[in-house]
Structure 1
Amino acid sequence: MGQMKTPGVYVEENKAFPNSVVEVATAVPAFIGHTEKAVNGDKPLAGKAWRITSMAEYHTCFGGAPFPVCTIVEKGGGPAASAIEPGAGVARISGCSKISSMAFSFNGKEYSLEQSSGHFILYYSMRLFFQNGGGPCYIVSTGSYNDDLQADRFRKGIEELIKEQEPTMVVIPEAVLLNEADCTSVQQAALQHCGGEMRNRMAILDVYDGYKDRNDPSGDCIDAFRNALGVNYLGFAVAYYPWLNTVIVQDQELSYENIGNADILKSLISDELVLEGADASDPKVTKLQAAVDQISDASLVEIEKTLLNNTLVQVSPLFNTILKELKDKLNLLPPSAAMAGIYTMVDNSRGVWKAPANVSLNAVIYPSINITHDDQEDLNVPIHGKSINAIRSFVGQGVLVWGARTLDGNSLDWRYINVRRTMIMLEESIRLACKVYAFEPNDANTWVSIKGMIGNFLTGIWKRGGLAGAAPSDAFSVHLGLGDTMTSEDVLEGLLRVTVLVAISRPAEFIEITFQQQVQES
C-alpha cells in the first residue's frame, strides 16, 4: 500500500494463493504449401499464417483439391518384354520434374501415365491429418496451383511462423516434390527454425523418395536422407519411413477429364471394343462408340460429362485401369501429415508425455514398403544416431506407428519424441507464467511465490502421469533464492535465477521377458 497521509480507514487485500501456470497447447501443427486460393472474405492470406480448426474452414479459406492431369504415353511399339498387369503400376515421384509415372499394358504394348499438372499434395495431406485426429492448425499458403514449386517459397513460409507463438509442429509435405537438394535445404531451414530460433516446436520431416525400398537401384533413400540433413538441432526433428498408400482420393473424384490426351484415350477404348469381338453393326455398340467419341467434346455440360464417365466406367476395363493407376498415385502420400494428426490425437487422449507410437493409422491401406523386424534395426538404432521411425503393417492389427525417437537418437536427453515435446510444454508454460514477475522485487516474497506457482503446476503434471516418481519430491524439484541459485551480485544485476529439475517419463521401448525352468516342487 502506498504512503498514508490522510486520516481514515484503509483496506489492503493480500493474495492468499500464488499465481497459476496455464498449460500451453501441445498439438498445433503449421502446414506450409500450395493452395487453390488464400483468402478470408476480402482479406488476402497468401504468405501469412492462418489458424483453422476443420477441413470446412480450410475449404472456405484455401479452396479445394488440385486438378490432376495425366497424358498417356506409349513406351514401345512391340510386345512388352515383361507384361505389366492392369492396375499393378507403382506410383513414382520424380521430384525435379514434378511428374509422376504410372504404367499399364494393353494389347501387347506398354504405356505410362505422365502427370503434367495438379501435382500439389497439401490438400490431400490436410485430409489425412484430420482423418487421423487432427485439430486446430495453421496454414501458410506459399502459392496457388498455377505457381511453380520453389524452395524459396517454402523457406519464406517458415520465416512467417516466427510471428506465431502457438504452433508446436512444422510440417511441409510438399517439400518432397522439389529436387533432392532443394528438399534438403527446406528441411534444414525447418530445423533451424525449430531448434535454433524458436526452440518451442518440432519439425516432422519426410524422407525424400521414401516410397522406395532401401535396395532400390537408384540408391538407399534413408542413407541419402541422413547424409544430407546434417547434425544441427536433430533433437527438434523426427522422421518416418516409408510413405503411405491411403484412401484419401476416391473413385468419384476422378474422370476421363483427368486424361490430357483425349484422342489416345478414345483410340484405346475403341481398340478395346474391337478386341472384345464387338459387332460394329450392333446398335448398342454403335451407341457406345458414339459415347466414346464424346470424350473430346468440350461442349458437354456437367450432367452429360457425368453420364459419359459412368458409361465408360461400366463398359471399359481399360478405362478403369487407367483411373486406378491415377488414383493409386494420388493416394501415395508422405506420412508427416498423418503423424501430426496422431500427435494431436494422442495428446488429447493421453497427454503429450505419452509416446506417439503403437497407434494405428486411419485412411491408410498399407505402407509403400513392408518393413521387417530386421529391417528396422538400422532405422531405429544406427551408429550415427539419426533414428528413423518405422511405420509397419502387422497381421490382425493394421498399420501401426512403430517408433518414437527423434533424429537425435544417440542423446540420452532427447532421444524420445515425448520427452522433447513434454519439456517444450513445461518450458513454455512456466516461461509465460513467470513473465508476470518481471520487475517485481527480487526478494524472498517473490521467490516463495514463484516456487509455489511452479511447484503446484508440476504437482498437477505428476498426478496426471507426466512425470516419473513415487512422490512429487521424486518427480521434480524447484530451486531459487540467495545462496541457492543466486549470489549477491546476481541480485544487484537484476537476475532472478530459477532451476527446475524434472524426471520425465520415458517409453518402454524394449520389453524383455526372461523364462527359466524350475524344479518341480510338488
Structure 2
Amino acid sequence: MGTMKTPGVYIVEKNAFPNSAVEVATAVPAFIGYTETAVNGNVSLLNKPFRITSMAEYHAYFGGAPIPMFALPDAAEGEEPTLICGEKKVMVKQTSVPFMLYYQMLMFFANGGGPCYIVSVGDYKAEELSADAFKAGVETLLKEQEPTMVLCPEAVGLKDKELCYSVQTAMLSHCGYKMRNRVSILDVFDGYKDRRDPSGDVVNEFREKIGSSFLDFGAAYYPWVNTSIVQDRDLSFLNFDAELLKALLNEELKKQPEEKQPLIQEQIDLIGTELDAVGKDTLNKTLLQISPVYNAALKEIKRMLNLLPPSAAMAGIYTMVDNTRGVWKAPANVSVNSVISPAVNITHDEQEDLNVPLSGKAINAIRTFVGEGIKVWGARTLDGNSLDWRYINVRRTMIMLEESVKNAARAYVFDPNVAGTWINIKSMIQNFLNGIWKRGGLAGATPDDAFSVHVGLGDTMTPEDILEGILRVTVLVAIVRPAEFIEITFQQQMQKS
C-alpha cells in the first residue's frame, strides 16, 4: 500500500496460500479433413480450427456424410469378382474421392469422444485429397493451445503412399518440435492388408517411411477395423453409376420369368430419372426385393465403406480413459465400440514383432479375444526403445504436468527473484503434484517418493542467473507405468498333510 499520511486505521490483507495450479485438459483431439460445409452463420470455417462437443454440432457447422459413388465394371482377368451375374463377373469399385472424416467422427463419439476441434481443409467438391491441404491444416493448429491430440484419418486415402507418410511426419514434427504439448495418432497405410500380403509388409513399410524424429510424440495402431458405422439405410441405387447399374440389372433380368420381366423392367428404367424422396425410397425397397445382385452390390459397398482406420476410435478411447481413470492410465485393454472385427486377426506370436521390434517403432495391435470381444492390446509410442518415453500414458501425463505447471507459473513472471517468490512457486507445484499423487497419477508410497521440487539460490540457480533474470525450478516426478507383462510363477511343493 502507499505511504500513510493521514492518521487513522488502515486495513492490510495478505494472502495466506500460494496460487494453485489447474490441471489442463488432456483429451481434446483436433481432426483434419474434408467436410460437406464449413460455415458458422455467414463466417467461413475453412482452414480454421473450430471447437465442437457433439455430433449435432458437427452437423450444424460442417454438414453431413458424403455420397460415395461406386461403379460396377466387368472384372479384369485374374481379378477376384465381387458379383457374378449370369455370364458376367463384376467388381464393385469406388469412383468418388474417399472422404471418410464424417465416418471417423461417428467412430470417435461412439468410443467415448467429447470436445474436439475440426479443421476443414475443403469440401466434397474436391476432385482428390490433397497432402498439401492436410499439412496446411496441421499448421493452423499452431495458434491453438487446447488440442492435445492431432489426427488426419483421411491421409491414408491419398493415392500416393509417399504423400501419406509426408503428412504423418509433418504431424509428428508439429507435435514434437513446434508445440511439444500434444501427440499424434497415426494410421498404417493399407493397414487392412495382412503383413504377408504379396504387395509387401505394410507395417515394415510404415516403420521405414515414418522416419526417426519425434517418435515419442506419436502412436500407431494396426490393423484397420470392420465397423458398423454405415448402415443399410445410408445406401441406395444413388451410390451407383446409373447406366452401369441398369446394365447389370438388365443382365440379371434375363433369368427372371417372362411374365415378371415387364414389371421389373419398369422399375429398372426408373433408375437415373428425377424422383422425389418418397419415390427414391420406394424404388430402393423394390429393387431390394426383386434383385439378388442389387442386394449383393449394396452389401459389398457397405463392407467397403465400413472398413476404416482406427485412429479416431482411439482418440475416443483416450478421451474415455482420461475421464474415467485419468491420463496416467494406459489406453489399452479397452474394448472398441462399433467394431465388428479387425481387418486382420493377429495371434500372440505375430504381435511380438509389432510390440517389441528391433527398431523400437512399436505398432499397437487391435485384437479379438474369445469371450471378451475386440480390444486395444498395446500402449506404446513409436519410440519403444526409450525407457523414458516408451509408453503413451507416460508421455501424455508428462505433457499434462508440464502444461499445468507452466500455466500456473506464468503468474510469477516479473515478480521479484527472491526467496519469497521461490517458496510460493515451490508450494504451488508441491500442492498440485500432491493432488495428482493422491489420485494415483504418481508412483510412490509417500509424496516424498513420488515427487520433489527444487528451487533457489545454491540449489538450482547461481548469482549470475539472478542477475540475468532467470528463475530455475527443477521438478522430479515418478510417473506410473503400465504392467505390460505380468509373470505368475507356479512351483510344486511337498505335501504337508
Fold match by TM threshold 0.5 = yes
Secondary structure at the residue paired with 1:5? coil
The answer to whether residue 185 in structure 2 is matched with residue 204 in structure 1 is yes
2:109 is aligned to 130
Match of 1:286 among 248, 252, 262: 262
Q: What is the rounded CA distance, in whole Å, between the counterparts of 2:249 and 2:199 in structure 1?
A: 35
The answer on 1:176 being equivalent to 2:176 is no
Shift of the alpha carbon at 1:82? Answer: 8.8
The corresponding residue for 2:285 is 310
Q: How does 1:409-428 map to 2 (within 5 A)?
A: 409-428=384-403
Aligned to 1:145: 124
Matches within 5 A, 1:92-103: 103=82
Does the 8 Å contact 2:52/2:115 carry over to 1? yes
Q: How does 1:150-161 map to 2 (within 5 A)?
A: 150-161=130-141
**Compared CA separation, residues 4 and 339, structure 1 to 2 (3 A):** same
Compute the displacement of 1:83 (Å): 7.1
In structure 1, C-alpha distance between the alignment counterparts of 2:90 and 2:404, rounded to whole Å:
57
Q: What is the CA-CA distance between 1:225 and the residue it aligns to?
A: 0.5
Q: How does 1:58-457 map to 2 (within 5 A)?
A: 58-76=58-76, 103-147=82-126, 148-178=128-158, 179-260=160-241, 262-275=242-255, 278-282=256-260, 285-296=261-272, 298-457=273-432
One-letter amino acid matched to 2:187: D
Q: State the distance in 2 between where 1:220 and 1:301 align.
A: 48
The sequence identity of aligned pairs, in percent, is 64
Q: For the residues of structure 1 that align with 2:34 and 2:243, how far apart are their CA atoms? A: 31
Any stretches of 5+ residues in structure 1 without a counterpart? 85-102
1:432-460 Cα deviation digits (max 9, x unpaired): 00000001111111111111111111011
Offset, 1:108: 4.2
Deviations 1:379-435 (A, max 9, x none): 000011000000001111111000000000000000000000000000000000000
Please provide the CA RMSD for this pair: 1.3
- Scaled by the length of structure 1, the TM-score of the pair is 0.93
Where does residue 49 of structure 2 map in the other structure? 49
What is the CA-CA distance between 1:279 and the residue it aligns to?
2.8
Q: How many residues align?
A: 495
Correspondent of 1:472 among 447, 451, 461: 447
SS in structure 2 opposite 1:218? coil
Partner Cα separation in structure 1 for residue 199 and residue 331 of structure 2: 32
Write the distance in 2 (CA, Å) between the matches of 1:268 and 1:187: 41
- TM-score calculated relative to the size of structure 2: 0.97
- 1:74 is paired with a residue whose SS is coil
Q: Secondary structure at the match of 1:370?
A: coil
SS of 1:117's equivalent?
coil
1:110 positional shift: 1.9
Q: SS where residue 181 of structure 1 aligns?
A: helix
Is the 2:18–2:427 contact (alpha carbons within 8 Å) kept by the matching residues of 1? yes
Alpha-carbon separation, structure 1, partners of 2:25 and 2:224:
28
Shift of 1:308: 0.6
Report if aligned partners of 2:321, 2:331 keep a CA contact under 8 Å in 1.
yes
Q: What are the superposed Cα offsets for residues 146-201 of structure 1, whole Å, 9 maximum, x if unpaired?
A: 11311110111000000100000000001111111111111111011000000000
Query: What code does the residue aligned with 1:20 have?
Result: S
Amino acid at match of 1:112: M
